[in-house]
Structure 1
């Protein structure tokens, strides 16, 4: 059982007067399979008012075990409302497992007072909520946090100055750097920005308004993302301007004062609170999770990492049994001193191509880097080139931008996809290796070293690794994006991070390296003129030449052979 802090005021025999959790939550609860058996019946105190740092009321629901006893508390702060799916997934399920759960709407959302201001108020309001908790008769002085996406960001905000009661964190598909979410090397992650706009503006109003807005955005997505100029075009789907969305779209420079204080990377650099991290290979925030893990390990903080075959949303849907079990085991270990549910190693990853889970001591595992080079005819070889001669060239036309297909997105189109239609385009280069005679395992970060020249000096690079099966079906594994800053006809070199993978290429399969100049509307199209993509009204095609000293760099490992 959790230990009581000296000033705790908990009365273990006290049960708040309250009714059952919402019917909608209980109905959703009944649909889940593969979850641990509940330990307690859950109670519910809705609509509590907790003072924010500025005194605004933060509307809060309290879920709890309807059992006499001494239970730790979980703090879950969300800008997306307190209804579905948050009520059953976090309020009801964790209360059934023996936790008080505080499910709170962030300032300016879900009925809470004040104005929502992306990322600015979360640290102060979280501290104010902990101060309120200390006054509650059921609070025993032991606190944990849990939650996904922006609900992970608010955890890192509290961890900037962790209160003594905070004993464990579980960050699921979580954010710590808003700039890196909205921009990639200065290019706007357009589709994700629009999806977040819908979520932030509508989800806290309830599922019906949120779904209606999501469908409206899908219908109008092409018109919005091809508008000239792009600035303000989203209003046709949202019905009004969103000042915070305008701000993030029009500040592409990470060093701009607008982004000062947005990144919470420093939280992990000195944290001592045991923290579990969960992500998916096609999660839009996977790279941020790997950064969090690396910082926590360097800081000597106890941490664990789970990486599944999920996107950002499917981790909380199809992956929920694994995500919930991982989260519960970590919280019970550190809030109940019950480590019986913990796995023996710090890292567990799902290996694509083998469809199996593997336990590892660390991430990434030791591996020797291997390079694969493009040669004329669309082949990949491990024989290094003797010069930087041109291999091939293609024309990118921003008026007909190379489309995005699958990968780490927030939409339902995220994840692995058949790339046949993409690879059939004239503005997509493909280089394919020979059929494998033995399995090849790739575990760790993938990158591309590109040697490229252009005729305008303004272009982007999108590069992707695919697995091609014996029938010729090409499926994306990982990818990356970089803005090119070339000096006209002279080749320039750029290294493009392509995220991390744990993937087995089976016998008979081939590796394929894709190279193009964009992925629209995942990234705002480069106008080819040097003008801001948000304000551009003139678009210029660009001719891009790939040179032989380019390379796909893979961390080969025999650890799974």
Structure 2
């Protein structure tokens, strides 16, 4: 902790300490470009102990503008520590723009007291922190919240019963439903779960412990993800993480394990103006779209910004756009200055052409265009004349179809060349003819498939790809669905493939890619009907696609 003296008045009845933000934060701050000029020098008051709901001390750093006057407050609660990158991203940058920033470590992390139990304590601890704020002489009664990922979850938790001081939120790639993060589609999202396990367990301890944990995880990833049984296989890399074991072994959303963890109801009331930010290759994009739809139905003031980002690149390459969005929204709702607001509620980056598009809503219209898988790997606008089987693959969980790119939390996320993946015998592709004019896809993508299996136990992974003039296939969006147990005949399923804003250029081809998994992004289906976390045997499955299947693309006209 930096020794404090007091020399600057900033807020009624309060004498500000003279400490500067940490040197590491100031050095990182100096490297950033493309950000608004700062209005004030930032001050720092570290290591404040805020009582949690049960009295446990929540360690908190206070950043503030070094200037006389009253300023609104931003609350940032994090399980990932209060150092890099949070200190410069939120503490320094927003203090420089005229906000008090309260950066707090969730209980059991970053030196705070109590035990960290994800999802279950944030609403009460958030309310306790607001009660503490009311006692601070610099607090004006105007409060906003901001932050990504789990830092978004804690905002929704506070908004379940919002305090009257809460006037605005900025949710950056944040979640509201933990079960959906781990199990959407019916398969355990293994690789992302392991990344979260490493981050939540080690990041609050500092950069060195986190880097060591990530390196251990990288070295042992294959060993962990192919272990039989899968449960507890992560322990040699991450140590025992009880909440991760709980998430892995409770796949049913109705299981009491998940009761009270979803904070979706916070977006179903018109109370707190909320800005939402996501990336097309973000692991939490679907939850962001669900939040937007709930807020719009509730009549709540909201905006949506979606860029060409992964979960982490929005805070890196995308930070100039993201910070400008944050600042405009917060100034409008906390400072009464609407100059930084966009003219339309939605702004999306259109992949394939690299342009930003302002829209009145998302998605624009429910209109869809149907593409039909056909014989010999064709994808056509006309349905096949019969219902015969089109193609089949043998999925072997002992040699699972690998994952390539997509919405991961790891460095391999995003669009990638799918050539090597599509050359495998356990991957099907159906490709359309070269386009005579551009095709814009804006909205949710889905594949309605007629599928049969020889065992009754299988997953189907469906991916939309753009094939360019050099025959390079690049992933656009995708999804996986665990098939319900069924008999030998074909059954119809719909695989949600997330959403996109993408232009397929003239001369390019649209491709539907199908397989029985994407490992280790998703835990492999053992093929036995056993819970994947506890399965001790593996059985291959033959998956057959039948005619009558449809790829649905939302191709309504752009504004």
**What is the TM-score of this pair, normalised by structure 2?**
0.97
**Cα drift, residue 488 of structure 1:** 3.1
* Alpha-carbon distance between aligned partners in 1 of 2:120 and 2:14, rounded to the nearest angstrom: 36
Superposition pairs for residues 83-482 of structure 1, below 5 Å?
A: 83-238=83-238, 240-482=239-481
Per-residue CA distance 1:517-541 (angstroms, 9 max, x = gap): 1000000000111011111111011
* Alpha-carbon distance between aligned partners in 1 of 2:484 and 2:364, rounded to the nearest angstrom: 33
**8 A contact 1:202–1:210 mirrored in 2:** yes
Per-residue CA distance 1:20-79 (angstroms, 9 max, x = gap): 000000000001000000000000000000000000000000000010011000000000
Aligned to 1:547: 546
**Secondary structure at 1:348's aligned position in 2?**
strand
**Cα drift, residue 370 of structure 1:** 1.2
* Alpha-carbon distance between aligned partners in 1 of 2:303 and 2:18, rounded to the nearest angstrom: 36
Per-residue CA distance 1:431-486 (angstroms, 9 max, x = gap): 00000010100000000001100110000000000000000000000001101125
Per-residue CA distance 1:310-341 (angstroms, 9 max, x = gap): 00000001101100010000000000000001
* Alpha-carbon distance between aligned partners in 2 of 1:341 and 1:13, rounded to the nearest angstrom: 31
**Secondary structure at 2:216's aligned position in 1?**
helix
In the alignment, structure 1 residue 34 sits paired with structure 2 residue 28: no
The runs of 5 or more residues in structure 2 that have no matched partner are 1-9
Q: RMSD of the alignment, in Å? A: 1.0
* Alpha-carbon distance between aligned partners in 1 of 2:472 and 2:186, rounded to the nearest angstrom: 33
**8 A contact 1:442–1:554 mirrored in 2:** yes
The runs of 5 or more residues in structure 1 that have no matched partner are 1-9
* Alpha-carbon distance between aligned partners in 1 of 2:277 and 2:401, rounded to the nearest angstrom: 32
Superposition pairs for residues 494-513 of structure 1, below 5 Å?
A: 494-513=493-512
Per-residue CA distance 1:162-187 (angstroms, 9 max, x = gap): 00100000000111110010112331
**8 A contact 1:25–1:84 mirrored in 2:** yes
**8 A contact 1:159–1:271 mirrored in 2:** no
Superposition pairs for residues 48-63 of structure 1, below 5 Å?
A: 48-63=48-63
* Alpha-carbon distance between aligned partners in 2 of 1:217 and 1:527, rounded to the nearest angstrom: 23
**Secondary structure at 2:401's aligned position in 1?**
coil
* Alpha-carbon distance between aligned partners in 1 of 2:356 and 2:142, rounded to the nearest angstrom: 33
* Alpha-carbon distance between aligned partners in 1 of 2:13 and 2:162, rounded to the nearest angstrom: 29
**Secondary structure at 1:534's aligned position in 2?**
coil
Superposition pairs for residues 67-78 of structure 1, below 5 Å?
A: 67-78=67-78
* Alpha-carbon distance between aligned partners in 2 of 1:214 and 1:333, rounded to the nearest angstrom: 39
Aligned to 1:490: 489
**Cα drift, residue 84 of structure 1:** 0.1
Aligned to 2:79: 79
Per-residue CA distance 1:392-420 (angstroms, 9 max, x = gap): 11111000000001000100000000000
Moved more, 376-385 or 287-296: 376-385
* Alpha-carbon distance between aligned partners in 2 of 1:425 and 1:358, rounded to the nearest angstrom: 37
Number of corresponding residues: 550
Aligned to 1:5: none
* Alpha-carbon distance between aligned partners in 1 of 2:488 and 2:273, rounded to the nearest angstrom: 52
**Cα drift, residue 355 of structure 1:** 0.3
Per-residue CA distance 1:126-146 (angstroms, 9 max, x = gap): 000000000000000000000
**Secondary structure at 1:539's aligned position in 2?**
coil
Aligned to 2:20: 20
Per-residue CA distance 1:252-283 (angstroms, 9 max, x = gap): 00010100111111000014111000000000
**What is the TM-score of this pair, normalised by structure 1?**
0.97
**Secondary structure at 1:322's aligned position in 2?**
helix
Per-residue CA distance 1:340-398 (angstroms, 9 max, x = gap): 01110000000001100000000001152111111111010011233321001111100
**Cα drift, residue 11 of structure 1:** 4.5
**8 A contact 1:465–1:511 mirrored in 2:** yes
* Alpha-carbon distance between aligned partners in 1 of 2:215 and 2:556, rounded to the nearest angstrom: 43
Aligned to 2:44: 44
**8 A contact 2:11–2:68 mirrored in 1:** no
* Alpha-carbon distance between aligned partners in 1 of 2:142 and 2:292, rounded to the nearest angstrom: 24
**Secondary structure at 1:447's aligned position in 2?**
strand
